Amino acid sequence: MATELYAQGLIYADGVLIADEVSFTCNYDPQNNVVLTQAKGFAGITPGAGQTNISITEAIPRLGTSIEWIKYSIGRTPIEVVAFIGSKKWSAKGFVGAVDTKAGVNSTSEHNVTIVAGEPTIS
């Protein structure tokens, strides 16, 4: 059995490292349309408009976060997100959607941020 070293991820928004990020998810959905015909049954697909969904959970420090997520959301300001996952770099431009803020007794205060973008660039 081989022993592996597994990578952690890093994520940047508008060139700023989200240093207090707890976790993030990058999901790409090509949104292809299935083509079914009488004679062939499943015949193939037609390309859809691909969409990237990025979710970031960030702990909130006392002095504030690196990015004012709510300002991006309210202003509908475009944002570029770059994620390093293993040996791959995902880059996508989109918009901040929902910003959920959580705080409570005996728990870490956090932002849960969703970003919707077009097709990512992978390198």
User: Number of folded domains in the chain?
Assistant: 1
- Is residue 4 situated within a structural domain? no
* Cα–Cα distances in angstroms (integers) from residue 7 to residues 16, 85, 92, in the given order: 20, 7, 21
Provide the 8-state DSSP code for 72. H
In this predicted structure, the answer to whether residue 1 has a pLDDT above a threshold of 70 is: no
- Is residue 73 situated within a structural domain? yes
Provide the CA 30 distance to its chain's centre, in angstroms.
15
- Is residue 5 situated within a structural domain? no
CATH of the domain at 41: 2.40.30
Q: What tokens appear for 7 in the block?
A: 């990578």
Mean pLDDT of 38-47: 96
In this predicted structure, the answer to whether residue 2 has a pLDDT above a threshold of 80 is: no
State the residue range of the domain holding 52.
10-122
- Is residue 88 situated within a structural domain? yes
- Is residue 16 situated within a structural domain? yes
pLDDT tens digits, 60-115: 999 988 899 999 999 999 999 999 988 899 999 999 999 999 999 999 999 999 99
- Is residue 35 situated within a structural domain? yes
